[in-house]
Amino acid sequence: MADRQIDTESRSEQTTRNKALAINKSANFYGTFAEIGAGQEVARHFFQAGLASQTIAKSMSAYDKSFSDSIYGKGSRFVSEERLLKMLSHEYELLEERLPERCDNTCFFVFANTVATSSHEEQPKCHGWMGIRFQERPGGPTNDIVLHVHMRDRLRLQQQEALGILGVNLIYAVRHFIATAGTELVSSLLDNLSTDRIEINFIRFSGPDVEHIDNRLMCLELVRQDLTRMTLFSPKGDVLAMEDALYKKPVLIQRGTFRPVTLTNEKILKNGLTQVERDFQVNRRDLVVMMELTMSQLQRGDANANAVDKKDFLDRVDTLCALGHHVLISNFPLFAQLHREMRRLTDNIIGLVIGAITLDGLFDEHYYANYSGGILAAFGDLFDDKTRMFIYPYKTEDTCLTAATFVPKPHLVHLYQHLVENHLIADMQNCDEVDTSLQSEVVRKLLSAGNPKWEELVPSEVRDLIKKRKLFGYTGR
C-alpha cells in the first residue's frame, strides 16, 4: 500500500506531469484509456510523463461516430452518460478477457471520456462526460466514478488542455483520496485548474468499495467549493444530471430553509402548482417540482462560516424527498442568477414561489451592486414571457403583505407596475386560510423542547420520518 500514500510534495506544488508519473510508478494499477469526441488529452499526460508501459494497456479513440457506434453500440448520443457507461463496460470486459494472467495481481481500470468542444459560438456549449471504472484490490469488485463537466475556456485547445488535467486529477484521486472521502477528494479535482476553466456539476460514486461515500455530500461539496453553482437530487435522493433531468421540462421552484418542511410550505407549494397549471396550461405530471436550499441557508453561523452541518443537510434532503419532491442545492443569492442558469437548462415554463416579505429585498438595489448592469440587467435575466413569480402573503396580527400591497421605492414604482401589469409577478391565490406566519424555527423549538405539538405542524410523512430516524435532534421525548 506504499504507493497509495500521498506524496510529501504538497498538492499545490504537484504538477500534472508529476501526478501522472506517480500513477505510472505505482504498482499493479493497469488499464485502458478510451477517449472519443474532443477528449483525447488525458492519456497523453501519462505517455509524456514516462514509464507509461507500467500503467497503460491500451489507448484508443473512436473519433468517428460510425466507428464508435460499431464498438460501443448505437442508440445513445455521442456525448452522453449512456455512451460513457457503454465505453467503461466494453473496455473493462476486454481487459479481463485479454489479460487473464494479470487478474490475480493487478488492479484493473478503464478511464473514459466523451466530449464536445467548440470555439465558434458566442457562448460555446462545451461539455463532456468523464469516468473511471477501477478495482481497489486485485480480483476485487469494480467501482465507478462518473463526472459531467463544462469547459469555460473560449478556445478549443484550452478546453482540451483543461480536460486533460482534470482526467489526471481524477485518476490520482482514485489512488489517494477514496479511502478518506474527505473534502480533498473534491478539491483535488481542480488541482492546477480553476473554476474559471472547468465546472463539475455532477459526480456519482458507485460500487462496493465506495459505499462509504455519500453522493449527496460529494455533490454538496461541489457547490460549497464553487466547482458548480447548483446540484439536484431526485425524490429518491439520487444525484441527477441537470441537463438531462430538466431538458425542455417546466419547473416550479420554492426556496426556503425547510428545517424541517412545514404544513405551510406544503400548502403554498400546492397552490403554486394549481396556479402554474391554470396560467400556463401545464400538465402537473410534466412539472419538475424543486425545493431549493441555498448554501447561505446551510452554512453554520459560527466562526467557521463556510462549514456545513452535514447531518442537518441530509435531514433536510430526506424529509423533502419523503414528500416526493426534487431537492435543489444552489449557491445563487439572487433569483436572477438562479433563473439565468435554469434558462440555460430548459426553454419551458419556470415558476418561482416566494414570500411577500422577500419583495423588499428583491427591489433593494444594494443587492445588485456587483451585478453587471445593476437591477435592470438583473430583472432582464430574471423575467421573460415563460417565467412567473408567485407571491404568497406574509401575515401578522397587524398586517398582510402581498404583491398587491407592496410598494417599492418611488423611483422603482414604474418598474414594479410593469412587472405586475404583465403578470410576471402575481399574487398566489387561495392563501387566506394558510398560516404563513408558521416558520420552521417554531417547529424546531417545539421539537427540541419535547413538545408533541410539533407533530401537528409538519406533513405526516415528515413527522413519521423524523420520529423513525430521529432527525433534527428528535429524541423521542
In this structure, which long-range contacts are made by residues 361-370, counting pairs with CB atoms below 8 Å and at least 24 apart in sequence? 362/335, 363/408, 363/409, 363/412, 363/416, 365/412, 367/333, 367/334, 368/334
Q: How far apart are CA 324 and CA 313, in angstroms?
A: 17
Q: Is 436 in contact with 445 (CB distance < 8 Å)?
A: no
* pLDDT band (50, 70, 90) for residue 305: low
pLDDT value, residue 1: 35
Q: Which CATH superfamily is domain 2-220 in?
A: CinA-like (3.90.950.20)
Q: How far apart are CA 460 and CA 477, in angstroms?
A: 18
Q: For residue range 73-92, what is the model confidence (pLDDT) as tens digits?
A: 886 678 899 999 999 999 99
Q: Of the candidates 102, 209, 199, 100, which has an alpha carbon nearest to the alpha carbon of residue 145?
A: 209
Q: For residue range 362-377, what is the model confidence (pLDDT) as tens digits?
A: 999 999 999 999 999 9
How many Cβ atoms sit within 10 Å of the Cβ of residue 102? 16
CA atoms within 13 A on the CB side of 336: 18
Q: For residue range 384-432, what is the model confidence (pLDDT) as tens digits?
A: 999 999 999 988 878 889 999 999 999 999 999 999 999 999 999 988 8
**E strands within 247-386?**
251-255, 288-294, 326-330, 350-355
How many Cβ atoms sit within 10 Å of the Cβ of residue 97? 8
Q: Of the candidates 222, 213, 162, 156, which has an alpha carbon nearest to the alpha carbon of residue 187?
A: 222
Size of the chain, expressed as the number of residues it contains? 477
> Are 2-220 and 243-472 equal in CATH topology?
no
- Per the prediction, the chain carries an average pLDDT of 91
**Any idea which architecture 243-472 has in CATH?**
3-Layer(aba) Sandwich (3.40)
Q: For residue range 26-63, what is the model confidence (pLDDT) as tens digits?
A: 989 999 999 987 667 899 999 999 999 999 999 998 88
Q: How far apart are CA 199 and CA 195, in angstroms?
A: 6
pLDDT value, residue 300: 58
Q: How far apart are CA 398 and CA 418, in angstroms?
A: 29
CA 267: distance to chain centroid?
Answer: 27
- Best-predicted range by mean pLDDT (65-79, 106-120, 126-140): 126-140
Residue ranges of the domains in the chain? 2-220, 243-472
Q: How far apart are CA 204 and CA 132, in angstroms?
A: 11
* pLDDT band (50, 70, 90) for residue 311: very high
For residue 453, the 8-state DSSP code is G
Q: Of the candidates 224, 279, 282, which has an alpha carbon nearest to the alpha carbon of residue 250?
A: 282
Q: How far apart are CA 464 and CA 466, in angstroms?
A: 6
pLDDT value, residue 4: 41
Q: Is 81 in contact with 148 (CB distance < 8 Å)?
A: yes
205 bridge partner residues:
145
Q: For residue range 249-302, what is the model confidence (pLDDT) as tens digits?
A: 999 999 999 999 999 999 999 999 999 999 999 998 999 999 999 998 887 555
* pLDDT band (50, 70, 90) for residue 2: very low
- Torsion, Cα 230 231 235 237, to 10 degrees, reads -140
Q: Please state, for a pLDDT cut of 90, what percent of the chain lies above it.
A: 77
